[in-house]
Amino acid sequence: MDTWLELPRAAFDLETTGKDPLEARIVTASIVVVNGRQEIINHREWLVNPGVPIPEEAAAVHGVSTERAVASGMDPAVAVAEISAHLRDLFQTMPVMAFNASYDFTVLAREAARHGVEPVDPAPVIDPFIIDKHVDKYRRGKRTLGALCEHYSIPLLNAHTSVADAAATIGVADAQAVKYPAVLGLDPAELHRQQIRWAAEQAASLQEYFRRKDPAAVVDGTWPVR
């Protein structure tokens, strides 16, 4: 039987106005679909007017200024509806990959609520960030997408553009699947369930570490939507 590595799969990435997924607004979104040979067979990208000023710190990362978003960006309600509908269709037939999925899917869920759009039920999701912390938990160093691309020898051009990050996410997830087939060679629905458990365990471990200094520290391990 073919594994998800040999079948069509998608990746989803957002660039936003900030780091807090409960407050951030979408600035760009990309959804890339590849076939079993990792060839891009479909790509959609959105530039969105978030309806709020884009902080200079965020614009410096993804390159979209408030002026550009206002001049050329889509209405956020229309964009969120389109993104959600496209993801909903994809989830019917394939897994969707997202790096640190609880950020992107939480932002999307909050935007859907903000604009009265039907929310997406994101499943099955494959998250190389959660997977990396499970399969290689004691490796030192950063676990950003860039760091994982370097670790797994995946090219990352134009980092922090949503299409480049989406394509790199597929590359990292595929490399993980090749390296750890016994752990990751599961049906996508079962892998999704495993990641829910792994994310909760990772958050509990991090919370225990933080509580050595702050007894009230809380780390939310809800995945893939907070």
Q: Residue ranges of the domains in the chain?
A: 4-186
pLDDT band of residue 2 (cuts 50, 70, 90) is low
What SS3 state is found at 105? helix
Give yes or no for residue 159 having a pLDDT over 80: no
> Which tokens is 45 given?
């990208």
What pLDDT, on a 0 to 100 scale, did the predictor assign at position 183?
A: 97
For residue 224, is the peptide bond before it cis, meaning its omega torsion is within 30 degrees of 0?
yes
Q: Which of 131, 129, 113 is nearest to 76 (CA)?
A: 113
CA–CA dist 43, 33 (Å, integer): 6
User: What percent of the chain is modeled with pLDDT above 90?
Assistant: 91
CA–CA dist 196, 82 (Å, integer): 27
pTM of the model: 0.95
Please write the tens of the pLDDT for every residue from 86-140: 999 999 999 999 999 999 999 999 999 999 999 999 999 999 999 999 999 999 9
What pLDDT, on a 0 to 100 scale, did the predictor assign at position 161?
A: 76
Q: Which CATH architecture has domain 4-186?
A: 2-Layer Sandwich (3.30)
Mean pLDDT of 72-82: 98
Give yes or no for residue 156 having a pLDDT over 90: no
User: What does the buried/exposed string (b/e) look like for 183-201 if buried means 16 or more CB atoms within 10 Å of the residue's CB?
Assistant: ebebebeebbebbbebbee
CA–CA dist 123, 125 (Å, integer): 5
- Average pLDDT of the chain is 95
Q: Which of 226, 109, 87 is nearest to 166 (CA)?
A: 87
What pLDDT, on a 0 to 100 scale, did the predictor assign at position 163?
A: 83
What pLDDT, on a 0 to 100 scale, did the predictor assign at position 164?
A: 85
Give yes or no for residue 160 having a pLDDT over 90: no
Please write the tens of the pLDDT for every residue from 205-224: 999 999 999 999 999 999 99
What pLDDT, on a 0 to 100 scale, did the predictor assign at position 199?
A: 98
CA–CA dist 174, 83 (Å, integer): 24
What pLDDT, on a 0 to 100 scale, did the predictor assign at position 3?
A: 85
What pLDDT, on a 0 to 100 scale, did the predictor assign at position 134?
A: 98
Residue 31's φ and ψ, nearest 5 degrees, are -130, 120
Please write the tens of the pLDDT for every residue from 11-48: 999 999 999 999 999 999 999 999 998 889 999 999 99
Q: Alpha carbon of 112 to those of 81, 119, 167: distances in Å?
A: 7, 6, 24
68 class by beta-carbon count within 10 Å (0-12 exposed, 13-18 middle, 19+ buried): middle
